[in-house]
């Protein structure tokens, strides 16, 4: 979500403004760490899936679905058709991503990771879309951008908090990916020019790729051990969504 706002709304001294936004953040902050949207073993009309008793609401799914459709529409320069949407199977894409994110969030909490108010404020207040001409965070711009994208402050803060949690989780993998001297020599030989211009760049890219792969495999393995239920009746509605 944060990447979506950054990419499509804008490009990248805020201490005076911290107090202004802190009132909003702290007001709804109690729900941020409980990303447990609702509890229960059944699947209600307003629930699209349940992961270990934690519900993924239809509102969250709808929001993620709309953003994904918009992203594809931009990629195809507004020429997205219903047939293309059907082939992409966006409902399943979105649901799988939401489930993986929920699993990751639960694992981050179980490890003991938390997102502090300061971390959340720092992340949001440095988002390019929310900066004024003086490159300072502007609450008026912040709320205007959220309204334009049909996102409530609470939902956005939850999304940003989840992004931070997942980044902390991914860093565990990145910090533990090491390349042998032989692997580094092979990389250097394959891309000598790039290494001369940007020493270590290829190695860093490979470490990142390996960490991402390990992280994805780990999340999927965790998913296989969890009680995950999906509401196919609710999901089916979105296969009829048009590109309008």
SS3 227: coil
pLDDT digits (tens, 9 = 90+) for 110-125: 999 999 999 999 999 9
Residue 13 pLDDT exceeds 70: no
Q: Is the dihedral of CA 99, 100, 104, 107 positive or negative?
A: positive
Give Cα 205 to chain centroid, integer Å: 21
The pLDDT, as a whole number, for residue 30 is 36
Task: Give the confidence band of 240 by pLDDT, cuts at 50, 70, 90.
Answer: low
Counting residues of the chain whose pLDDT is more than 70, the rounded percentage is: 69
Q: CB-based contacts of 165: which residues, under 8 Å, 6+ apart?
A: 104, 105, 108, 109, 113, 115
Q: CB-based contacts of 242: which residues, under 8 Å, 6+ apart?
A: 82
Tokens read off for 195: 């290494």
Residue 104 pLDDT exceeds 80: yes
CA angle centred on 99, ends 240 and 231, rounded to 5°: 45
- Kindly tell me the burial class for residue 49, based on how many C-beta atoms sit within 10 Å of its own C-beta (0-12, 13-18, 19 or more): buried
Please check whether residue 63 is in contact with residue 34, taking contact to mean a CB–CB distance below 8 angstroms: no
pLDDT digits (tens, 9 = 90+) for 16-31: 333 334 444 444 433 3
Q: Identify the architecture of domain 2-166+227-240 in CATH.
A: Orthogonal Bundle (1.10)
Tokens read off for 137: 């965070």
Going from N- to C-terminal start, the domains of the chain cover: 2-166+227-240
The pLDDT, as a whole number, for residue 27 is 41
Counting residues of the chain whose pLDDT is more than 90, the rounded percentage is: 38
51 strand-pairing partners: 54, 228
Phi, psi of 112 (to 5 degrees): 110, 5
The pLDDT, as a whole number, for residue 84 is 80
On average, the pLDDT of the chain sits at 76
pLDDT digits (tens, 9 = 90+) for 166-208: 999 998 888 877 666 666 666 566 555 554 555 555 677 777 8
| pTM exceeds 0.75 for this model | no
Find the helix or strand (DSSP H, E) in which 191 lies: none
d(C-alpha 219, C-alpha 170), whole Å = 10
Q: What is the dihedral of CA 88, 90, 93, 99, to 10 degrees?
A: -170
Q: Where are the beta strands (DSSP E) in 89-236?
A: 228-230
């Amino acid at each position: 979500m944060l990447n979506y706002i950054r990419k499509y709304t804008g490009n990248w001294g805020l201490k005076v403004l911290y107090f202004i936004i802190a009132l909003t953040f702290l007001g709804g902050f109690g729900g941020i760490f409980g990303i447990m949207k609702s509890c229960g073993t059944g699947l209600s009309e307003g629930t699209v899936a349940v992961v270990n008793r934690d519900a993924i609401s239809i509102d969250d799914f709808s929001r993620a679905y709309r953003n994904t459709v918009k992203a594809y529409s931009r990629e195809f320069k507004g020429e997205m058709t219903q047939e293309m949407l059907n082939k992409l199977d966006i409902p399943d894409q979105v649901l799988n991503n939401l489930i993986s994110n929920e699993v990751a969030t639960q694992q981050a909490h179980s490890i003991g990771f938390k997102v502090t108010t300061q971390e959340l404020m720092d992340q949001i207040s440095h988002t390019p879309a929310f900066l004024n001409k003086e490159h300072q965070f502007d609450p008026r711009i912040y709320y205007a951008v959220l309204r334009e994208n049909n996102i409530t402050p609470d939902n956005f803060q939850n999304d940003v908090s989840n992004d931070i949690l997942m980044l902390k989780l991914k860093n565990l993998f990145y910090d533990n990916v090491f390349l042998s001297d032989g692997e580094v020599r092979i990389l250097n030989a394959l891309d000598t020019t790039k290494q001369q211009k940007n020493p270590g760049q290829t190695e860093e890219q490979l470490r990142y790729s390996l960490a991402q792969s390990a992280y994805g495999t780990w999340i999927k393995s965790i998913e296989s051990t969890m009680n995950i239920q999906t509401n196919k009746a609710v999901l089916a509605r979105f296969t009829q969504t048009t590109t309008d």
